[in-house]
Amino acid sequence: MILGSKAKPAEKKSGHRVRIRHIFLFSAMILVLLAMISHSPQDWDALRGGINAPIMNWIGASGAYLSHILLMSCGIAGYILVILLLLRSFRLLLPDSGSNRNFISGVLLVTAGAMLLLALAPEAFANITQNLGLGRSAMPHKALSGGLIGQFFAAPPCPDDVPPIPAGWLRTLIGAVGTMVIGWIMVTAGGVILYISDWHNLIRLRLLSPGAAAAGEASRSLLKKLADRQAAKAAVRELENGRSYAVDEEDEECDDVEEPAGDIREAEAEEVPPVKSRSRLKDLLNSGMEFGEDELPLARNRSNPSISRIAAGMEAEECENLPEEKFSAAAAVAAKTPAILETPEVSKKVVQNGEKIRGEHGDFILPLVSMLAQGKNVIGESTEAIELAKSKIQQTLEDFSIAGRVTGQVSGPRVTRYEITLDPGINVKKVEQIQDNIRMALAATSIRVLAPIPGRPVVGIEVSNSNPEAVFMRSVM
C-alpha cells in the first residue's frame, strides 16, 4: 500500500471588477449629500413662487426638491440615511461588498430607530430644526426633528393647542420610555447588521495585519501534515497486524514534525514503502528471549491445532515442526501481545457451551457459560405488596364504576403485571382513562396499561416493583 501525493486542485482566480453602474451610483450619492448639506428653507418657497429669490442649493432645483422631501419625511435622520447610502455606494467599489439585502435591512432599522429617538424630544433640536425649516423656536414641541414619520409614531402631545394634538401612535401605546427602548434596539440591531453583512469582511481581510492570516495558514498546514503522518502510520500498522489501530493522540507526539518557518509551504505527501507480511512468532523465536513456567498459559493447548494457530499466529504445519520449549514460550508471548485476529463467522444455529464450530479462519470453541456471574435468584415483588396493590386497583375500579375485578398477576424482577377481567359490555378504554388515578392510588413512579394484553381477554397494568432487582445475563441464557 503506497500513499501517493494528491493532486493540488487549481485555485480559483479571485478578482474584483468595478462596474460602471457602481461609479454612477457613488457619484449620485455624492450629489445627494451635497444637496442635503446646502439645503435652505427659502428654496422651497422660491420653487413654489412665494418669493422671488435664486435657488441656494448647490445642486439646483432638483437638489432643493430632493433635500426638502427627505427632511420633511425623515427629519434630521435624513442625513443619517444619506451618509449610510453614500458609504454603501463607496463600498461597492471595493471587493467583498456583502449582501445588498442585508444592508438595506440594516439601513432601514438604523433610520427608523433614529427617527423615533429624534421625535421623542423635539425641544432639544429646536435650533437645528428652525435652520432647516422644520419648526419654529417659538413652538419647539411642534418641530419635526424626526420628520413626519417620527412625529406620527413618537411625537409628544400638545394639549394646549386648539384642537389638542395627541401623542404619537407608538408613544400612546407603550409610553415614552418604551418608545425610546424600541428606538435604541432598532439602531443597535441595524448597526450590527451593517457591520456583519458589509464592513466585517473588509476589516477582517483587508485592514488587519497580514500576520494573522499567515498564522492561520501555518496552523492549518501543520494540522494537515500531522493528519497525513498519522494516517500513514495507521496504514503501516494495518498491514503489519491485519487490523486497523486507532492512533492514540498521546503516543503520537508532534516532535517529528518540523514547524514551518518563513513562507508557508504545502506538506509533501510521503510515500510509505510496502510492508511484507511476517510471522510474529518467528520474530519472537529469532529474538532469543527466554520465558518462565508461569508465562505458559497456552502451552497446554498444543494438542489442539486451532488453538495453537490462534495463539501463535502460524499455520498448523509450522506449529508441528517447532520444539516443545519454543512453542510454549512463543504461545505465551503471543497470548500477552495485543494482536487481535478476525472473529470467524458463526452459523445462526444455536450451539452448546464449549462446542467446536468452524469459521472462515479455522475452528473456534465457544466460551463456557460459567464465565458469567450467576447472580441472585429472582424473587419479584413480595406477596404482601402484591395483595395491597390488587386491593387498591380494585377499589379504584369501583370508585369510577368500572365493572371488573383483578384476577391475576405476574411478578418479574423489576415490574409486576396485574390482570383485570372486565364484565361484558365494558369499554377497555375506560381503564386507560383512569391510569393516572391508579398510579396515584399505588403511589407508583410509573405504570403502563395494556388494553388489552395481546392474545388474552384481560387488561394488564404494569407497575414498577418497590425493590427492583438486577437481571444477570446468565439467568436469561
Whether 156 and 304 map to the same domain: the answer is no
Query: Which residues 6+ apart lie within 8 Å of 121 measured at CB?
Result: 145, 156
**How many CB atoms neighbour CB 146 within 10 A?**
31
Q: Report the predicted TM-score, pTM, of the whole model to 2 decimal places.
A: 0.43
Whether 336 and 350 map to the same domain: the answer is no
Query: Which residues 6+ apart lie within 8 Å of 340 measured at CB?
Result: 241, 243
Residue 250 within any structural domain of the chain: no
- pLDDT at position 240 is 64
Vertex 380: Cα angle to 374 and 386 (nearest 5): 175
Q: What does the alpha-carbon distance between residue 141 and residue 120 come to, in Å, rounded to a whole number?
A: 10
Residue 261 within any structural domain of the chain: no
Q: Which of 288, 301, 299 is CA-nearest to residue 325?
A: 299
Last residue of a domain, one of 181, 207, 233: 207
Residue 252 within any structural domain of the chain: no
Specify the DSSP element, H or E, that contains 174. helix 169-194
Residue 145 within any structural domain of the chain: yes
Residue 243 within any structural domain of the chain: no
Residue 457 within any structural domain of the chain: yes
Last residue of a domain, one of 190, 207, 224: 207
Greatest CA span in the chain, whole angstroms?
126
- pLDDT at position 299 is 39
Whether 188 and 40 map to the same domain: the answer is yes
Q: What does the alpha-carbon distance between residue 49 and residue 109 come to, in Å, rounded to a whole number?
A: 37
Three-state secondary structure call for residue 158: strand
Q: pLDDT truncated to tens, each residue of the chain (477 aa)?
A: 344 444 444 444 445 677 899 899 999 999 999 999 999 998 988 888 878 889 999 999 999 999 999 999 999 999 999 999 999 899 888 877 777 888 899 999 999 999 999 999 999 998 999 999 998 888 888 899 999 999 999 999 987 776 788 899 999 999 999 999 999 999 999 999 988 887 777 676 655 545 555 666 666 777 778 888 888 887 777 776 654 444 444 444 444 444 444 444 444 444 444 444 444 444 544 544 444 444 444 434 444 444 444 444 444 445 445 555 555 555 555 555 444 444 444 444 444 555 566 666 666 677 777 777 776 766 778 888 889 999 999 999 999 988 999 999 988 888 899 999 999 888 888 888 898 999 899 888 888 998 888 888 899 999 988 887 777 777 776
Distance of CA 112 to the CA centre of its chain: 34
Please answer whether residues 455 and 416 qualify as being in contact, where contact means their C-beta atoms are separated by less than 8 angstroms. no
- pLDDT at position 444 is 87
Vertex 430: Cα angle to 424 and 436 (nearest 5): 145
- pLDDT at position 153 is 95
Domain span holding position 314 = 279-340
Residue 387 sits in a domain of what CATH number?
3.30.980.40
Whether 349 and 424 map to the same domain: the answer is no
Q: What does the alpha-carbon distance between residue 153 and residue 288 come to, in Å, rounded to a whole number?
A: 95
- pLDDT at position 446 is 85
DSSP label at 207?
A: I
- pLDDT at position 261 is 45
Whether 348 and 390 map to the same domain: the answer is no
Please answer whether residues 214 and 263 qualify as being in contact, where contact means their C-beta atoms are separated by less than 8 angstroms. no
User: pLDDT digit string (tens) for 265-302?
Assistant: 444 444 444 444 444 444 544 544 444 444 444 434 44
Whether 348 and 405 map to the same domain: the answer is no
Whether 304 and 392 map to the same domain: the answer is no
Whether 295 and 308 map to the same domain: the answer is yes
Whether 199 and 295 map to the same domain: the answer is no
Whether 200 and 54 map to the same domain: the answer is yes
Residue 180 within any structural domain of the chain: yes
- pLDDT at position 212 is 56
Q: What does the alpha-carbon distance between residue 46 and residue 66 come to, in Å, rounded to a whole number?
A: 15
Last residue of a domain, one of 158, 176, 207: 207
Whether 73 and 202 map to the same domain: the answer is yes
- pLDDT at position 466 is 83
**Quick one: cell of 92?**
461597492
Please answer whether residues 389 and 383 qualify as being in contact, where contact means their C-beta atoms are separated by less than 8 angstroms. no
Query: Which residues 6+ apart lie within 8 Å of 355 measured at CB?
Result: 365, 366
- pLDDT at position 93 is 87
Residue 6 within any structural domain of the chain: no
Whether 364 and 431 map to the same domain: the answer is no
Number of structural domains (the chain) is 4
**How many CB atoms neighbour CB 365 within 10 A?**
14
